[in-house]
Amino acid sequence: MTRAVPPLPARDGVAASRLWLPAGDWPDLASFLAARFPHLDAGVWVRRFANGEVLDELGQPLRADTPYRAGRCLHYYREVPLERVVPFSETVLYRDARLLVVDKPHFLATIPSGKHLHQTLLMRLRKSLDLPQLTPIHRLDRETAGVMLFCVDPASRGAYQTLFAERRVAKTYEAIVHHRARLSLPRVHRSRLVERDDSFVMHEVDGEPNSETRVELIATTGDTARLRLMPLTGKKHQLRAHLAALGVPIVNDRWYPRLLPDGPDDYDRPLKLLARSIAFTDPFSGEACRFESGRSL
């Protein structure tokens, strides 16, 4: 049975990653970590050991030549070399003892993932507001801007997440899309969305629908249209996939209807998708809450 090991304190807003050592015959810790993370240059672990950044369960630094012992617990703090600064700022819309509501900019990831760590909304807020236990209640794509909810008090997070699970949160988005005059609006689009086998993007397949979005027309300008989107469900990339399937993909979308080659962000061409507002009844106060983004497309 795995022993209970208390978490180590965060460093610069980053929680320590925890790794239980599996059965194996590696001679030392450095050999195991090089095999466990083959995508990292071997020099990364040499430097981390030298700087005392690989720790035991008590937070004590370990040596690279420490003999390997299955079942022990290692801690290390994740890092992203040469992380690019996102030159846009978030705005706090509301804060109390339980809830934090933020207006997220385009290009900023919600949580650490891949090549994004400190330049994520969660890490920025933990540091700038001195809230080391802050956690997101839901998520937005990195490319999407707008209203996001975070929980200040970990014990309260479940109650807010239940609102989303039970579809008691009204979310409204706006998008600018490549217009198709023959598309009849308003409409409700339902489909079954699954991830493709060959990539991380979603596509529609036959079967029982697992996603639903109401689409309304706000205005048209030339060959583009501004739409209001009200998703009932929250599948990955739902709005982007639904609009692409309807033949009206979002302007500047590099993933839908087709995945373009990866490249650096073009800050002059943000995805034209905004989480405009979010509304719900607070599970603790019973008050009706509505928060709206101050951003525009």
Architecture of domain 91-292: 2-Layer Sandwich (3.30)
Q: Taking the model in full, what pTM does it have?
A: 0.84
Question: Do 82 and 70 meet the contact criterion of CB atoms below 8 Å apart?
Answer: no
Tokens 């979010």, located at residue:
278
Beta partners for residue 173, in sequence order: 229, 275
At position 178, the amino acid (one-letter code) is H
Q: Is domain 17-76 classified as CATH 3.10.290?
A: yes
Determine the Cα–Cα distance for residues 287 and 289; give it in Å rounded to an integer: 6
Tokens 């030392």, located at residue:
28
3-state secondary structure of 29: helix
List of residues 6+ apart from 261 with CB closer than 8 A? none
The domain segmentation of the chain, as residue ranges, is 17-76, 91-292
End-to-end distance of the chain based on CA atoms, in angstroms? 53
pLDDT tens digit at each of 297 positions of the chain? 445 566 777 777 677 788 999 999 999 999 999 999 888 787 888 888 998 889 998 889 999 999 999 999 999 887 776 788 999 999 999 999 999 999 999 999 999 887 888 899 999 999 999 998 999 999 999 999 999 999 999 999 999 999 999 999 999 999 999 998 889 999 999 999 999 988 889 999 999 999 999 999 999 999 999 999 999 999 999 999 999 999 999 999 999 999 988 888 999 999 999 999 999 999 999 999 999 999 999
